[in-house]
Amino acid sequence: MKIETTAIHAGNQSDENTGAVIQPITLSTTYLRDQDGSYSSGYIYSRAGNPNRTQLENVLTKLEYGADAAAFSSGNAAGMTAFQSLKPGTHAICPDDMYHGLRNQLKHMFAGILEFDFVDVNDEQVLIDHIKPNTGLIWLETPSNPLLKITDIKKVVALAKQYQINVLVDNTFATPVCQHPLLLGADMVMHSSTKYIGGHSDLMGGVLITAAKDEWWTKIRQIQELGGAIPSPADCYYLTRSIKTLPYRVKGHVQNAQLLADFLVKHDQIESVLYPGLKSHPQHEIAAKQMDYFGGMLSFCLKGGEAEAKKVVNKLKLFAQATSLGGVESLIEHRASVEGPGTVTPQNLLRVSVGLEHIDDLIADMEQALS
Ligand SMILES: *Cc1c(COP(=O)(O)O)cnc(C)c1O
């Protein structure tokens, strides 16, 4: 089945009792036992499992071509579960521009439990130099945030396999529509479903999707159940509902992002535009090879510095000044201020989550703000 069909059908189970076509939200925290004490429904207690979560996990498994998925209450909870699943003392290699929330999680919550290095994962020699006997995980995030750097997933997987290291890809920016890391050989995929999967900036969620139901996955499932960082049945319902339009929303985001990038590149107030769909992007070839679409996120650097960048943000009317991404409305932010002291993000950089407004209106707004 094609992704548009999967997105609509794989997460829904019509209700046999009432004939409701759309699956109801099951709020009950506890489930009836049979007379012999068994649980023939397959559900016992909602922390361990809930029908809405099952359906959400089913559709996400299929969208990423995985063997199973586990849903969490946020992207960071999904990331935390991946780190908690590693044996204490394991060494992880992460990108030097890893999503700052997870980078801070490692630094503040896992120091003394795991070892980790933040390196340029796009430099093969740097990767090789950092591999140690206890290295168990290479974490990738491509396109990266906010520099939109592209990592060649297949190439890193080939190297990791030689050393029996697992590769996990944070696929949040790419969405399950633009890129399928498991098909490129990765072992696990992570999403913040708060972003494109939810798509309306109104709920938090995260997910891990595995290529194999192996020992590592058993540990992930155990942490999901015992740790309890699970999404509510209503959030699972809304995510499943949002996923039905995900392929069409993402294609709209991608189309608008490409057109906005083409406009910005030609503007004389702009120093550079970072979008993998531009031929001028240093890793455009790799992106074209491993992505079906180039995504809805872009960044651009203004001529001038922080003051010029902030002035443009304040003049924009349609692009809301706010963090986060993946919603139907366009958002823009001065990324260096969000990441705080110590950030490597240039002070003249603005990050845009290109929304689904008409592109003519978005370009007109950008044009007046830049003038
Ligand atoms: C937002 C985000 C996360 C964290 O997800 P939350 O849902 O905010 O916890 C992780 N990775 C990337 C790339 C993100 O954009």
99 lines ligand 1 (CB under 6 A): yes
| CA dihedral sign of residues 43, 46, 51, 55 | negative
What are phi and psi for residue 21, nearest 5 degrees?
A: -70, -40
User: Where does 247-370 sit in CATH, by number?
Assistant: 3.90.1150.10
Ligand 1 centroid to residue 12 C-alpha, Å:
26
Nearest 5°: CA angle at 280, between 276 and 286?
45
Grade residue 228 by pLDDT with cuts at 50, 70 and 90: very high
> Do the domains 247-370 and 3-243 match in fold?
no
- 79 CA closest ligand 1 atom index: 10
- 172 CA closest ligand 1 atom index: 13
Q: Which residues pair with 51 in a beta bridge?
A: none
- Packed helices 359-370 and 306-315: angle between N→C axes, nearest 10 degrees: 130
Answer yes or no: is pLDDT of 340 > 90. Answer: no
Instruction: Identify each DSSP E strand in 240-290 by its residue range.
Output: 270-274
Q: What is the pLDDT of residues 4-43, one digit of tens each?
A: 999 999 999 999 999 999 999 999 999 999 999 999 989 9
Task: Give me the pLDDT at residue 78, please.
Answer: 98
Show the 3-state SS of 49-68.
CCHHHHHHHHHHHHHCCCCE
What are phi and psi for residue 271, nearest 5 degrees?
A: -85, -45
d(CA 156, CA 159): 5
Residue linked to tokens 């985001």:
253
Whole-number CA gyration radius for the chain = 21
**Beta pairing class for 135-141 and 166-170:** parallel
Q: Which residues pair with 30 in a beta bridge?
A: 45
The reply to whether 96 belongs to the active site is no
Task: Give me the pLDDT at residue 339, please.
Answer: 80
The reply to whether 170 belongs to the active site is yes
Answer yes or no: is pLDDT of 342 > 80. Answer: no
Q: What is the pLDDT of residues 303-322, one digit of tens each?
A: 999 999 999 999 999 999 99
Please say whether the beta carbons of 148 and 121 come within 8 A.
Answer: no
> Across all residues in the chain, what is the average pLDDT?
97
How far apart are the two ends of the chain, measured CA to CA in Å?
A: 47
User: Where does 3-243 sit in CATH, by number?
Assistant: 3.40.640.10
Domain chopping of the chain, boundaries = 3-243, 247-370
The reply to whether 99 belongs to the active site is yes
Average pLDDT over residues 43-66: 98
